Structures are given as C-alpha cells and as structure tokens.
C-alpha cells in the first residue's frame, strides 16, 4: 500500500454493496398484470443495445447481429 492507505480504503468503501439499507417499497407494486408486450423496433433496439437479452423473446434474441473482426461495432461520432 502506498501512502497512508486512504485511497485503498475509499476504493473498498465504493466497491462495497450495502445490503442492510432500509426501504419501504412493496415489490408487488411493480408486478405486471399481463405478459403481453408490444415489441416495437425501438424497444427491441434498446434491449439489444443495453444487453437485456433475457427480456427479449427467443426469436428476437437469436436474430441479434454477431460482431467479429469482419463485422466490427461502429462507434457513433
């Protein structure tokens, strides 16, 4: 450890996940009453972009583009 260790202790604090935080939210309020989801192109693009693959139906998940050296990801400029 270099110096007085404040940086290491701060890093450990930031990396620690607090599990004893009190909250008064009822998780059942977020339950969906229906499983019907309209997969618009914008929703599919969002879910793919942020890699929420488990929220996509199987036929859409498997149609996701495959990136490799011949088909690199293009970054927006």
Write out the E strands in 15-75: none
**Domain-embedded: residue 51:** yes
Q: Are 49 and 43 in contact (CB under 8 A)?
A: no
Domain that holds residue 66: 34-72
**Domain-embedded: residue 28:** no
What is the per-residue pLDDT for 15?
94
Q: Are 47 and 56 in contact (CB under 8 A)?
A: yes
**Domain-embedded: residue 48:** yes
The predicted-structure confidence for 36-56, as pLDDT tens digits, reads as follows 888 888 988 898 889 888 888
Mean pLDDT, range 54-74, rounded to an integer = 66
**Domain-embedded: residue 3:** no
- pTM here is 0.40
Element of type H or E holding 8: helix 6-15
Count of domains observed in the chain: 1
């Amino acid at each position: 450890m270099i110096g007085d260790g404040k940086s290491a202790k701060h890093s450990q604090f930031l990396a620690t996940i607090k599990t004893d935080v009190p909250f008064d939210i009822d998780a059942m309020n977020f339950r969906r009453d229906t499983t019907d989801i309209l997969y618009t192109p914008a929703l599919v693009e969002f879910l793919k972009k942020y890699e929420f693959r488990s929220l996509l139906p199987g036929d859409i998940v498997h149609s996701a583009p495959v990136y490799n050296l011949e088909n690199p990801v293009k970054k927006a400029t």
